[in-house]
Amino acid sequence: MKPRVLSTLLRAALAASALLSVARGSVVQGNFNALTRSGTAFVGIAVNATDATKTDIKRSTDSGATFTNVVTATAFPLRNLSASSSTIIAVGDSGFISRSTNAGLNWTDLSTAEAPPVGPLKDVASSSATFWVTVGQTNAGKLAAEWSSDGGATWSAATSIPNVSGTLRAVTYDATKARWCAVGTDLTLTTAVVITSTDGQAWTPATITAPNGTTALNDVASDASGHLLAVGDNGLILSSSDGGLNFTAQTIPGDLVTENLTSVVYSSTSGTFTAGGQDLVQITATTSGAPTVSQAPVPGGGDINTLIVDGSGQVVVSGTDINLTATVTLGSLTATYDGTPKSATATTNPTGLTVAFTYDGSSTAPTNAGSYAVVGTITGSSYTGSANGTLVIAKANQTISFTGPADQGFTSSAITLSATATSNLAVSFSIVSGPATVNGSTLTLTGAGTVVVQAAQAGNSNYNAATSINQTFVVAANFESWRLANFTAPELADANVSGPNAVFGADGLSNLVKYALGLAPKTDAAAGLPQVAVANGEWVFTYTRPTSITDVTYAVEVSTNLSAWSTTGVTHELVSSVGGVDTWRARYAVSSASTAFFRLVVTH
């Protein structure tokens, strides 16, 4: 009897109180009736493409992505196969056994030793690379078992086995209890049958504690530590914690699941059993509590034919027309521009499925700020599912570093401004207030006073505008700013008119002297000139000058003959500072000279 196809996965963690929970593994398509793993190779039995009464043996070395025929149209239809190290044994109808010792690359057909002749063999298992057991049915319709102690090269019939009209559909070995366990159906009583053996040769019945009408068992698996899980028709689940001597049935409240469970495997990596049934039904249960249905049957969900565990401990499923729907939840849909591509992420239920993304229809993750329509689609498995969302890459903020010019005296030379933005975008400058103009990064002073210059970066499609930075500096008045304020452009270009030693008017005073005394350059001075007087036995030379002038030095010299000038004996002192005007005087004793000439020397 060919096992019913599977369309459900059930994961059961079986310990002292074994837990059953849902698991969905990766899916290998290929219409395999059976599948096993030898090292990194997957080897399966599939129906021959041209003759449905024949089977092929196929092999994959890429985790089931692609398979290659290694045997086409076996002599008899094969039912199952199992691997131990590099040895693989395949069994099938009419007692047919085939053997590979190189992980499924090459095969040798063997003969059986069963009397009466063996009918279909349903399953095969090993306790080591050398000792094997296969089970099934004799041609007389009785339970059948054979064993091999030489790695499957030769086979012998079981020395004793219950005389039951029925078939054994599965066999497993528990290393801790050193016990074989085979399960199947009693065709006379139409109930489950379980037999055990300590040597694989002599078999005795096990005890089943189950409700009346317990149906056929289809598969059994061991965790190698004494815990076994057997599954069967109509949602039957039996558990054992003593290596298979005693089994207890687990019932589902309300008889909500009547689908057949026909395959079970154990993963030592996760410490869980995984079983499968029809129509994607999912069940959660504990041996100490009632099982519950976590997903109702889904007719048309597809057929899963066989389960194995891959090298990473993940359950691998093979079947036809599997239509497993998974949910996709998109993540990482908000980001900030930083010049690198921004990819969405996704989680799937079941977990671990591969999701491919498109962004506005392109598989390339975007870099620039903006909104992108994201579609995440499951790929590379028989699960289907997708999700839509919007990836928003926000503009990045940026800051400006700007150190303004230092306080300084007026200059007609250009001042170069410098500022940087964290975006590396160009910074622009403008004059907020004050006597200056700016062109690009070149600042030109137009007079004395307080200048406020601003550095700004307006942003672009990837950056927000930066907060502008204002810097303030003071331009002190000096001779250059005085010239700029008092002469026209042509006059400024002519040093004989506006230069420091040039005399513009008829008063004989140079431009520098007029600047130093605070006089108008283009008006003949009639007032504000130095004065000389005698007081208290001293010559007194008095003059006034603007307090703000700092780029000129003043000295008062004295002479008795207008040829030799000196500051010796001259006391030069500030008298007062009122309203921006300083009054200075120079005193020189009359006794030193009855006649004295004074002059004010200004130096720029």
Range of the domain at 461: 400-476
Q: What pLDDT, on a 0 to 100 scale, did the predictor assign at position 381?
A: 66
Q: Phi/psi of residue 200, each to 5°?
A: 75, 5
**Residue 310: its pLDDT value, please?**
85
Q: Does residue 224 lie within any of the structural domains?
A: yes
Q: What is the pLDDT of residues 133-167, one digit of tens each?
A: 999 999 899 999 999 999 999 999 999 999 999 99
Contacts with 488 (C-beta within 8 Å, 6 or more apart), sequence order: none
Domain holding 415: CATH number? 2.60.40
Q: How confident is the model at residue 272 (pLDDT cuts 50, 70, 90)?
A: confident
* Cα 173 versus chain centre, distance: 43
Is 459 within the bounds of a domain?
A: yes
Residues 432, 377 within the same domain: no
Looking at the structure, tell me whether residues 69 and 160 fall in a common domain. Answer: yes
Per the domain annotation, does 321 fall within a domain? no
Question: Based on the number of CB atoms within 10 Å of its own CB, is 222 exposed (0-12), middle (13-18) or buried (19 or more)?
Answer: buried
| Same domain flag for 380 and 411 | no
Residues 6+ apart with CB under 8 A from 54: 47, 48, 73, 74, 77
Domains contained in the chain, number: 4
pLDDT of residue 22 exceeding 60, the answer is no
State the DSSP string of 415-426: EE--EEETT-PP
Task: State how far the Cα of 531 lies from the Cα of 515, in Å rounded to an integer.
Answer: 18
Are 446 and 377 in a shared domain?
no
Q: Are 98 and 109 in contact (CB under 8 A)?
A: yes
pLDDT digits (tens, 9 = 90+) for 56-79: 999 999 888 788 999 998 888 999
Query: Which 8-state DSSP code applies to residue 154?
Result: S
The residue count for the chain: 604
- Identify the pLDDT of residue 280: 52
pLDDT in tens, 106-129: 999 986 544 445 789 999 999 999
Last residue of a domain, one of 363, 394, 425: 394
pLDDT at 63: 81
What number is the average pLDDT over the span 272-298? 54
Is the pLDDT reported for residue 197 higher than 60? yes
pLDDT exceeds cutoff 90 at 554? yes
389 and 441 within one domain: no
Task: For residue 152, give the CATH number of its domain.
Answer: 2.130.10.10
Asked whether residue 269 is assigned to any structural domain, the reply reads no
Instruction: Report if residue 429 sits inside a domain.
Output: yes
Q: Look at residues 338, 331, 347 and name the one whose alpha carbon lies nearest to residue 366.
A: 338
pLDDT band at 464 (very low <50, low <70, confident <90, very high): very high
Looking at the structure, tell me whether residues 540 and 579 fall in a common domain.
yes
Alpha helix positions (H), 506-603? 511-517
Q: Is the link from the previous residue into 530 a cis peptide, with omega within 30 of 0?
A: no
Domain boundary among 378, 394, 410: 394
CB 173 within 8 A of CB 182: no
Question: Do 144 and 178 belong together in one domain?
Answer: yes
- Residue (of 106, 102, 149) closest to 129 by Cα position: 149
Select from 235, 229, 317, 218 the least CA-distant residue to 271. 229
Instruction: Provide the pLDDT for residue 341.
Output: 98
The CA distance from 379 to 37, in Å, is 24
Mean pLDDT of the chain: 86
Is the same domain home to 541 and 462? no
pLDDT at 309 over 90: no
Where residue 9 falls among pLDDT bands split at 50, 70, 90?
Answer: very low
When mean pLDDT is compared across 99-113, 247-261, 272-286, the lowest value belongs to 272-286
Rg (CA), the chain: 51
Co-location of 422 and 570 in the same domain = no
Q: Are residues 40 and 64 in the same domain?
A: yes
- Of 236-250, 281-295, 493-507, which has the strongest mean pLDDT? 493-507
Q: How confident is the model at residue 30 (pLDDT cuts 50, 70, 90)?
A: low
- Is residue 345 located within the same domain as residue 239? no
Could you tell me whether strands 334-336 and 327-331 are parallel, antiparallel, or unpaired per DSSP bridges? unpaired
Largest CA distance in the chain: 161
